[in-house]
Chains A and B, each alone.
Chain A
């Protein structure tokens, strides 16, 4: 089963911005309880959308540079990147059905 990949300040450009498929980046931190609870939902979705959307996670505590460049001030914070640009952002814990709606909208 496809699982979310961990990205960091060093790999963000290559793995997210230069990716040919859209990438959903989960900006999270170990102190954030809703992030921890959202993780299993994102793992399920990573499997369901395998090949269509790449799922990635970035620890904002360890990678402040990337987090700051996207103005992250609240987590969980999901940003979907397409062709190197953020096209959609979801702030806060959302149930799976709602996330799927957003993902499907992006895939068109």
Chain B
């Protein structure tokens, strides 16, 4: 049967590709289903400095392409489609996609996560008109004026540093009074004169007609309201797992993450999860790759019974 595999991997980021590298080298008939561009979210990163083996750093796009190239060298099949559901049919696991149904004895879910939205007034309507979720894509459009970055983690600070190359001023708006970002990134941001921090501050609304004009802010402690004139706002407040298609099939935590054990097994036998989609993942390309390899090793054990 053309649509029958031993392993199906959902997601083509570092987790899924590493899993595919291992399962195809184990000579398991494997299919990797990827919805977007190969390489996953890491391809958005201008420079990845924390993936071992690349002492000078490597662009996210190149890293994604290299992992993809390596993963597909050993017979891994790939399909560009969106997974829309997963079900059990006796001993088979059926993956439903926009290009038909595919069955496997084991499934590795590595569908990753996407940028969390703020969920505030003005955000959706002004997306692409000053509201952005990718500084490497849109940063160069904001050469004059103040831009804001919302968030306090690695992504937020990396984006602020990138934006400081173009904009006159970058305001980092964070709801706490300290950053979550890696210390080396924080040090670089503190040393960049264009970057300023607004601590204990929440963004409550984005104003503008054809383009972003102003943010409505409130102080997280005093509740005091204020406004900030900006030409752009980059949202980097974290990630939302891509697991909507699994609701009702797999137990998920409140935020939608998949609960696994240390062998990457979910509650359903033969269904594994790896990478950002897992609860308590470190959300790094390197840990995702590690998860993928771990899942593949235990998939092989599961299949050999």
Contact = CB atoms under 8 A, between A and B. Distances in A.
Task: Note whether A and B form a binding pair.
Answer: yes
Interface of A: 29, 31-38, 60-61, 71-77, 89, 91-93, 95-97
Interface size band for B? 20 to 34
A73 B129 contact: yes
B140 A34 contact: no
Contact of B128 (A31, A35, A36, A91): A91
Contact of B137 (A75, A95, A97): A75
A31 B80 contact: no
B204 interface: no
A54 to B, nearest CB: 23
19 contacts: A33-B43, A33-B61, A33-B136, A33-B137, A34-B43, A34-B134, A35-B137, A37-B38, A38-B37, A60-B141, A71-B129, A74-B129, A74-B134, A74-B137, A75-B137, A76-B137, A93-B36, A95-B80, A97-B81
A95 B137 CA distance: 17
Given A34-B37, A92-B128, A93-B36, A72 B61 contact: no
A100 to B, nearest CB: 11
Given A33-B61, A34-B37, A95-B80, 5 more contacts: A33-B136, A34-B43, A38-B37, A73-B128, A97-B82
Given A33-B60, A92-B128, A74 B141 contact: yes
Contacts of B127: 74, 91
Nearest to B37: A37
B25 to A, nearest CB: 26
Interface string B97-138: 010000000000000000000000000000111101010111
Given A33-B43, A91-B128, A71 B136 contact: no
Interface in B33-50: 35-38, 43-44
A29 B134 CA distance: 14
A31 B141 contact: no
B211 A71 contact: yes
A33 B44 contact: yes
- Could you tell me the dominant secondary structure of chain A's interface residues? loop
B137 A34 contact: yes
A1 B159 CA distance: 39
Contact of B141 (A33, A37, A72, A92): A72
Top-4 shortest CB links A-B = A37-B37, A91-B128, A74-B128, A33-B61
A76 B140 CA distance: 13
Contacts of B38: 37
Contacts of B44: 33-34
Contact of A95 (B60, B82, B130, B138): B82
Interface in B174-207: none
Nearest to B59: A33
Contacts of B61: 33, 36-37
A97 B98 contact: yes
A79 B128 CA distance: 12
Interface string B133-155: 01011101110000000000000
Contacts of B36: 37, 93, 95
A73 B141 contact: yes
Contacts of B136: 31-33
Contacts of B128: 73-74, 77, 89, 91-92
B262 interface: no
B138 A75 contact: yes
B253 interface: no
Nearest to B141: A73
A32 B59 CA distance: 12
Given A91-B127, A93-B37, A97-B98, A31 B43 contact: no
A33 to B, nearest CB: 5
